[in-house]
A and B are shown apart, each in its own frame.
Chain A
Amino acid sequence: MNATAQQGVSLQARDVCKSYAGQLVLKGIDFQVERGEVFVLMGPSGSGKTVLLKHLIGLEVPDRGEILIEGQPIHSPGVVDRYRLAMVFQSGALLNSLSVADNVGLYLSEHRLHPPETIAQIVAEKLALVGLKGIENKLPSELSGGMKKRVSIARALVIEPQLILYDEPTSELDPLIAVTIGAEILRLNQRIHVTSIVVTHDRDLAFGIADRIALMHEGELIALGPPDQVKADPHPLVQRFLQADFRFNPESITP
């Protein structure tokens, strides 16, 4: 595994539609993410961000449209296997039967990429990176929500991926750790030019790290562009979402 020689991958969603039990969740999503870009996806709860991420990494098959990774349909045989992809799940999705160390090192040990000692070393290193030390032998059930999230981020980092999807990486984290995670997303992006797609409700994080921001609303992208452009977007929903704060009536966020 040679991290320095690696490049991020480009990703394209083409008219992606998906419905669950008759409810249209994605209504024709179109966008492209360039190699090495940090692409932030925002939007109200339930707007379909998680569903979209699952499509982007090939876990779900769209009803219509397609996802292209480096120009090739992600569901063509053998295409996903060619790239190293990682996803930080909203819930963490750690394997409950494995210890923290085994979880973080799972990719390396299952694919036999390193001997066990090296794996242990890498695992400790990545855990330290997300501010966790000495919890290698704990089980996921013994961790707090924020710790699980960080272990899950460490597990994704271990893969040294070419594309990494973060589903709300900083929810459940205190502001200090959140800033560290934000910095790490950027650092990883600069160091190995990974393509990052970040779903977040954290506006500071979003505007701090994004090359481009997309705003999703009820299964559609209603704004897409560099942070400044999105900030200036006159669309009323965009403005309401971006400017909502505690002085507002919370109901005004989701009309």
Chain B
Amino acid sequence: MFQNFGEMLMLLWRTAWALPMTWRQRRKVFDQLFEIGNASLLMACLLSFFIGGVLALQTGPVLAERGLTNFIGQIVGLSMCRELAPAMMAMLIAGRIGSSMAAELGSMTVYQEIDALRTMNINPIQYLVLPRLVAISFALPVLVVFSILVGWLGGAVVSVSNYQIAISYEGYFNSLRDGIDLIDLVNGLFKSAAFAVVIGLVSCHQGLHTIGGPRGIGRSVTKAVANSIILILILDYFLTRLLMHLDR
């Protein structure tokens, strides 16, 4: 995995160079966006609702014992914003979209479609990697905002309906509003954008470096997802440290 870092940085660099071509490739970017939305919205919704719910369920009774139920909105709100929505959505997208990117580019590599592009003087980075990376970097933060909102809602539903917690919607959302600043949202979005680049980069890199026929495609997909998730979790720690530092 680590010998690939250099190659991935090269890929990032070359994609960054191709960024001015984004407008030309806008149709492919839209296609990708559509695919990402299509593949992940429903799942994101479900996942986020239950994450918010379980957060409230885990923390609610403990807070209630100590008479601190009016903090529950804040806890769910902050955790969703700063940590859970970015991390969980990134993993969802790594599994859903990263895998399909790796599979698609992998099969194009194995079946010589990439070679064919190169003989036609079409740069695979501009034609394939750029639209994917741009689309995912845009889609993931949007998905995270969506996930945060749904997660809050999940937390609210559980906080209100669970008999051990049993606070009002009003109480929950008041606490949430008091506890959360715009900076928390920005924090989460910043993280998710970084995760998106990681997923896109790892998946495209794995796809383009697929060797060994159809079997290699499967290997690339597995590696793309596993490596993305590992990198996301490691990066998450360091980004959190960095952002905490900046907050102060």
Contacts and interface: CB of A to CB of B under 8 A. Distances in A.
A81 B108 CA distance: 22
B111 A96 contact: yes
A97 B119 CA distance: 18
B102 to A, nearest CB: 15
Given A91-B112, A95-B108, A107 B118 contact: no
Contacts of A107: 120-122
B122 A59 contact: no
A166 interface: no
A112 to B, nearest CB: 8
Nearest to B126: A110
Q: How large is the interface on B (under 10, 10 to 19, 20 to 34, 35 or more residues)?
A: 10 to 19
B116 interface: yes
Interface string B116-131: 1111111000010000
A93 B127 contact: no
A85 B118 CA distance: 10
Interface residues of A, number: 21
Given A95-B108, A96-B107, A110-B127, A59 B119 contact: yes
Contact of A57 (B107, B117, B119): B119
Contact of B112 (A80, A86, A89, A111): A89
Nearest to A108: B120
A59 B127 CA distance: 17
A111 B115 CA distance: 17
A86 B119 contact: yes
A85 B107 CA distance: 24
Contacts of B119: 57, 59, 85-87
B113 interface: yes
B208 to A, nearest CB: 14
A111 B121 contact: yes
Given A95-B108, A96-B107, A110-B127, A80 B115 contact: no
B195 to A, nearest CB: 26
Given A95-B108, A96-B107, A110-B127, A59 B118 contact: yes
